[in-house]
A = this chain, B = another copy of it.
């Protein structure tokens, strides 16, 4: 279910409530647990852990259910029902549990006739489904587009679901997923390059993507797979840095009950989260692609001249440069003529912040 998405607040009161003023942060079960059973326990334990070991304090607020949660049949009144094997206690009870922890609950549905995994879609049931989600106390809807008989109806469908959610009176954040742009199915097959492919695609389309991102609506390159099995630590740092710069929702999909300490530290890194959660809500642009590194097997040393930084204006007359990744390091006061030396690991990332120093403070 990897895709580029747009989170949009549809409740009229949403912006007043402060919903999604910064990119959504939380946990989403899919990439790590897919259609596993015992979900009552899984989601409640994850909510427990989020509160107990620093996730909530770090800003993670949402516990999100992805596909596979419903029964294959609606009830006699046309309402979606939970799969009794996966969620024997139902979503309402889970929402209450999650809310009691001071967290919020997300759920998943499809705009068309069927979800990705073949469960009932919402087409023809937008009002009923919106009411069901509101009755259950759901706070966020990931609204996918998998099977739509007539793709021209998409816009109308989204408008109708937005209106339906709005009429429930409950503030529900809505995530729209644009399926297969880019072709994530193909990317998955050579998945070492996932993160890089997402970067390339986003960079190629940044003229469209970047301007629409901002408080209330974010481009979403989907889940963080940090803490899972496929990425080296350097690659995990790369994903975290890119998601931060892209002002992307930080939805982790790993087993928080049993996560490697280095991955946890990375996901809870205050400096990186601060970049992502910057109140201005500006998604970063990809400004330069270089390929001048020598192939020396190990980390590459690289001299960056401050005047070449995208944020060089901040250094006129002076700025503070701080390295956030791969390790925190204060690089001191710099000016437009400064050069800073950084080291970049293969498949890794060096993340810098640049802060202006006002002349009055010099």
Interface size class of A (residues with CB under 8 A): 20 to 34
By a CB distance below 8 angstroms, the chain B residues around A155 are: none
Name the B residues within 8 Å of A17 (CB-CB).
none
Q: Is the CB of A31 within 8 A of B297?
A: yes
Q: How far is the CA of A34 from the CA of B299 in the complex (A)?
A: 11
- Contact A298 B36, CB 8 Å, known A230-B232, A232-B232: yes
The stretch of A164-172, A269-277, A332-340, A343-351 in contact with B is A343-351
Report the minimal beta-carbon distance from A185 to chain B, rounded to whole angstroms.
13
Question: Within the complex, which residue of B255, B260, B347 is in contact with A230, where a contact is CB–CB below 8 Å?
Answer: B347
Cβ of A43 under 8 Å from chain B: no
For A34, give the chain B residue with the smallest CB separation.
B297
B231–A232 touching, CB < 8 Å: yes
Interface residues in A214-249 by Cβ distance below 8 A to B read 228-235
In residues 19-65 of chain A, which contact B (Cβ within 8 Å)?
30-36
A282-336 at interface with B (beta carbon < 8 Å):
295-299
Q: A30–B31 Cα gap in the complex (Å)?
A: 36
Contacts of A299 in B (CB 8 A): 229
- Give the residues in chain B near A297, CB-CB below 8 Å: 30-34, 36
| Other A-B pairs, 18, CB within 8 Å; known A190-B190, A192-B193 | A30-B297, A33-B296, A33-B297, A34-B296, A36-B296, A190-B192, A192-B230, A228-B346, A229-B232, A229-B234, A229-B298, A229-B345, A230-B346, A230-B347, A231-B232, A232-B232, A233-B260, A255-B298
Residues of A at the B interface (CB closer than 8 Å) are 30-36, 190-193, 228-235, 255, 260, 295-299, 345-348
